[in-house]
Structure 1
Amino acid sequence: MRRLGIHSFVWTGGGTQAMLEEAMENSAACGYQLIEFAYLRPEKFDLDRLARKAQSLGLEIAVTMGLPLSADVSSEDADVVKAGEELLAGAVAAVRDIGGTKLGGILYSAHTKYSTMPSDRGRKNSVAAIARTAETAKKAKVDLVLEVVNRFETNLLNTTAQGLDFIKATGSDHVTLHLDTFHMNIEEANPAAAIRLAGDKIGYFHIGESNRGYLGDGVIDFDRIFDALLDIGYKRDITFESFSSAVVDESLSLACAIWRDTWTDNMPLAKHAKAFIDLKMDEAVRRRTTNARP
């Protein structure tokens, strides 16, 4: 079943329980069926309360994160890799405890701009760590989805083809790809073709504009994106993601280079995004129906 979601950073930096609960209320009020959170540390948030809140609002929960350099599973340092695996295991447990459906993001490396090429040993360490994490996630009934991002946020998985090679190397049937139109617009020669290449290996999908702002105000060809999603029969979750320095927390602003306000009023943005995505999906369906007529 496809659900339309929204990232909590549209609403809040997420520093307190109250902020997250308000983000959930705003998401449901706009008609979204899923909310995406950044990693929720059990010592900081009441996960049971968030789970009950989500259930009362009819919201599913997804969690995404990126690893710090101190816990980079693509490191050549065994202790750093171990720290990364422990962090991932804790994240899987948090997703389980909040009643979430998936853990995604940059789980296979640090979320940073690297100054070196990835090493063969580092890639093998990452593959092995993700394979083990996948087994933990499978037992917890949490989907593990690896986000393919641009060259300024990782040096390991920048294209769909690289992502497919990576998940094949894990040997796990519980690892899929998390694709994002913002990142694909930077790295893929043909984003629609990349979607078709990935096919049923796409486990989660982010919709974001090239400038991180209002959908339709950038250069991404969403008609081709939605045509490709229909072509592969994609029925999993789609989440709107947009960042502005007016809302997003400082650490993510630094990691994602959010240096300006792409918007200042989040409610109109969220309502517009839902209407835009619904419209583009409906248009893609109509194009397919029209083209199928004899």
Structure 2
Amino acid sequence: MNKLGVHALVWAGDLTPESTRKVIIQTKAAGFDLVELSLHGPKVMDLALTRDLLQEHGLEIGCSRGLTLDADVSSDNPESVARGLALLEEGVSITAELGGKYFGGILYGAMAKYHAPLTAQGRRNAVDSLKRIADFALKKDVTLGLEVVNRYESNLLNTASQALGMLDEVNAPNVVVHLDTYHMNIEESDFMQPVLACGKRLGYVHIGESNRGYLGSGTIDFAQFFHALSMIGYEGVVTFESFSSTVVNEQLSNALAIWRNLWDDSMDLATHARTFMAGGINAAAKARVHH
């Protein structure tokens, strides 16, 4: 059975000590194995406290972030690239300090709607930066996940095949593909082929509905997706991600266009998601046995 995770933004909009305590306690109470912390406001985090709480409640941790347009490793501007690299190093260091083994997200550019295509130089800068950060992360025993996102959040990796091409170029043992059903629903032709194409190079999964609300309330073919995970023998983490205007993060909510209130009861949303994901994974596994 895969480890099941939940994104901290289901519970709280920041990671102050008070919010962190709530995030970790609620994640455990909802029955998850892992919590994913978004490092978009690391200045307010108390890393020692966070690590202690994770150990106390027996939870695993994954971290994620996206870069910004002024700190963008896919920029033509060397100063912007340098600032992006600094954010990536910080993210890897925080992940390791918390006892985490996974740092993913839009690590290859800004999480933003670009107004022009990527340049050849920008792509070279992104590949070079990822090579450097992969080397840095390897020494800290951290795996990097390149999250494939839709065209409104990146002009570089919008499909699994693009991510696999980038993995070939970066050529580091600790860099994997991170697929997210919400983004796949916009950019991919189906939920099967991209998973099969990734195979063993799929290292992390986000489960999100087409409207980013309750699982099963939108248009995503989760049965097909879970079946594909079963076909490749995926043993990694499956993390639930959902956003509502109820929980606001200053850095993320506007970037992700979280304008609507899709839920206001975090615990109901999360326990429903956990049951939904476990059921889908189990059904796919059983279907394979009988097949």
Same fold (TM over 0.5): yes
Query: Structure 1 15/49 Cα, relative in aligned 2: closer, same or farther at 3 Å?
Result: closer
**Residue identity matched to 1:32:** F
Q: CA deviation at 1:191?
A: 2.1
How many Å separate the matches in 1 of 2:240 and 2:7? Answer: 6
The question of whether the paired residues in 1 share the 8 Å contact of 2:7 and 2:37 is answered with yes
Deviates further, 79-88 or 268-277? 79-88
How many Å separate the matches in 1 of 2:90 and 2:222? Answer: 36
How many Å separate the matches in 2 of 1:87 and 1:16? Answer: 19
What do residues 31-67 of structure 1 show as CA deviations (whole Å, max 9, x unaligned)? Answer: 1010001116664221011111101111011111000
What do residues 126-185 of structure 1 show as CA deviations (whole Å, max 9, x unaligned)? Answer: 000011000000101111111000000010000000000011101212111111000000
**Equivalent residue number for residue 97 of structure 1:** 97
**Equivalent residue number for residue 221 of structure 1:** 221
Query: Structure 1 260/42 Cα, relative in aligned 2: closer, same or farther at 3 Å?
Result: closer
Q: CA deviation at 1:15?
A: 4.5
What do residues 98-151 of structure 1 show as CA deviations (whole Å, max 9, x unaligned)? Answer: 111211000100010000001111001000001100000010111111100000
The question of whether the paired residues in 2 share the 8 Å contact of 1:60 and 1:101 is answered with no
Secondary structure of 1:49's partner?
Answer: helix
**Equivalent residue number for residue 126 of structure 2:** 126
Q: CA deviation at 1:20?
A: 1.3
Say if 2:49 is the partner of 1:20.
no
The question of whether the paired residues in 1 share the 8 Å contact of 2:15 and 2:45 is answered with no
How many Å separate the matches in 2 of 1:113 and 1:81? Answer: 18
Query: Structure 1 42/184 Cα, relative in aligned 2: closer, same or farther at 3 Å?
Result: closer
Say if 2:108 is the partner of 1:85.
no
Counting only pairs closer than 5 Å after superposition, residues 1-294 of structure 1 correspond to structure 2 as 2-39=2-39, 43-291=43-291
Unaligned runs of 5+ residues in structure 2 are: none
How many Å separate the matches in 1 of 2:279 and 2:106? Answer: 30
What do residues 262-293 of structure 1 show as CA deviations (whole Å, max 9, x unaligned)? Answer: 111111000000000111111112211222xx
**Residue identity matched to 2:134:** A
Secondary structure of 1:71's partner?
Answer: coil
**Residue identity matched to 1:81:** V
How many Å separate the matches in 1 of 2:11 and 2:192? Answer: 29
TM-score (norm 1): 0.97
Task: Report how many aligned residue pairs link the two structures.
Answer: 291
TM-score (norm 2): 0.97
Q: Which runs of 4+ in 1 moved over 6 A?
A: none
How many Å separate the matches in 2 of 1:41 and 1:92? Answer: 14
The question of whether the paired residues in 1 share the 8 Å contact of 2:147 and 2:177 is answered with yes
Of all paired residues, the percent bearing the same amino acid is 44
Alpha-carbon RMSD across the aligned residues, in angstroms, is 1.2
